[in-house]
């Protein structure tokens, strides 16, 4: 069971506290911009072999050049579109082959925020399908490779939006209820967190049952607080209606003005992926008031994220929708 201390990581934990990562292989989704690009750069600077999983080939190559200029081990590009389960399966096969079945860190970082109503290639609501279903399927498909790694970790990035999230297991794609971009985003980010917690439960149960290799994989969640990443600007550009684009754009400018830098916002997920004191089921976020900004510590997840019925229901629904066999079973 996860213990929620009054203060997790010591105040002031920073990139300088990350030890040498030589010999470790790290896969980062959405590694071409924002938190993903910063995470890739930090891991590469410290000697890790970094696999950049990106949807856009052009942006991926630019990120590859940028990270490669500071890397001690040449980074590699993995084509991945989380909104297409065929692409997710292909990426998982490519990672397994390139790593010889040994992956040390899976950083589920990519995400869409507040997009207009749409569907993924498989007919899922865009934000739920991309942010949650794509990452969940990728995690399950890569679990054998993670078991082949050393003290492997799955770090799933959530958001403060999860605090207001509700997961409707009967209507996750808003086919019956009215679609709202913010509501859909909150549901997807809560799903990220619920999945991370449920994965931790399943890994612990598998370990208790004596399943070989289960204790070597740790599931952790993180969130960046209120951080300027460029995600808000992308959200604004995704809206075709001029009024909607203007409203969302104004919010993006506020985020750019008051949000903390990507360098600081990346610290929680880097802490979750590297710090020795991290335990399965931890939720790492900023240590400032309201978890809006600051250096990383272990925080208490919202109560909904800890609900066992919700976790089990989401786990089963995810398996049904993706057609991927859950691992651990």
Q: Please list the active-site residues.
A: 185
CB 131 within 8 A of CB 190: no
DSSP string, 172-211: TT-SSSPP-HHHHHHHHHHHHHHHHHHHHHHHHHHHHTT-
Q: How far is CA 245 from the centre of its chain?
A: 26
Residue for token digits 């890569």? 142
Provide long-range contacts, Cβ within 8 A and 24+ apart, for 206-211.
206/328, 211/328
Sheet of 76-79, strand order: 76-79, 49-54, 25-29, 105-108, 152-157, 217-222, 283-286, 296-298
CA 102 to each of CA 20, 44, 219, 221, 273: distance values in angstroms, whole numbers, following the listed order: 18, 18, 17, 21, 16
Taking the C-alpha atoms of residue 297 and residue 295, their distance in angstroms, rounded to an integer, is 7
* Other residues' Cβ atoms within 10 Å of the Cβ of residue 72: 13
CB 73 within 8 A of CB 48: yes
Beta pairing class for 76-79 and 49-54: parallel
Residue 3's DSSP bridge partners are none
Residue for token digits 């498909």? 141
Taking the C-alpha atoms of residue 36 and residue 29, their distance in angstroms, rounded to an integer, is 7
């Amino acid at each position: 069971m996860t213990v929620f201390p009054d203060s997790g990581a010591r105040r002031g934990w920073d990139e300088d506290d990350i030890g040498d990562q030589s010999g470790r292989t790290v896969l980062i989704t959405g590694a071409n911009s924002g938190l993903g690009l910063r995470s890739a750069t930090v891991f590469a600077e410290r000697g890790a072999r970094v696999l950049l999983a990106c949807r856009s080939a052009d942006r991926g190559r630019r990120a590859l050049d940028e990270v490669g200029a500071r890397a001690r081990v040449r980074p590699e590009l993995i084509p991945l579109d989380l909104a297409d389960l065929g692409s997710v399966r292909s990426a998982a096969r490519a990672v397994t082959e390139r790593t010889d079945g040994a992956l040390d860190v899976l950083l589920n970082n990519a995400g869409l925020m507040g997009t207009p109503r749409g569907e993924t290639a498989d007919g899922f609501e865009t934000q739920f399908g991309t942010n949650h279903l794509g990452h969940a399927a990728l995690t399950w498909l890569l679990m054998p490779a993670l078991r082949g790694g050393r003290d492997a970790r799955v770090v799933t990035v959530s958001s403060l939006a999860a605090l207001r999230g509700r997961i409707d297991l009967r209507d996750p794609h808003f086919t019956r209820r009215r679609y709202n971009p913010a509501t859909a985003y909150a549901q997807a980010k809560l799903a990220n967190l619920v999945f991370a917690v449920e994965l931790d439960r399943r890994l612990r149960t598998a370990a208790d049952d004596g399943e070989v290799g289960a204790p070597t994989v740790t599931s952790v969640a993180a969130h960046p607080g209120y951080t300027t990443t460029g995600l808000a600007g992308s959200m604004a550009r995704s809206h075709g209606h001029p009024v909607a684009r203007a409203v969302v754009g104004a919010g993006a400018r506020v985020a750019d003005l008051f949000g903390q830098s990507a360098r600081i916002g990346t610290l929680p997920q880097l802490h979750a992926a590297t710090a020795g004191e991290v335990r399965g089921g931890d939720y790492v976020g900023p240590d400032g008031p309201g978890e809006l900004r600051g250096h990383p510590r272990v925080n208490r997840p919202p109560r909904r994220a800890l609900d066992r019925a919700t976790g089990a229901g989401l786990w089963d629904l995810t398996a049904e929708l993706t057609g991927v066999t859950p691992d651990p079973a």
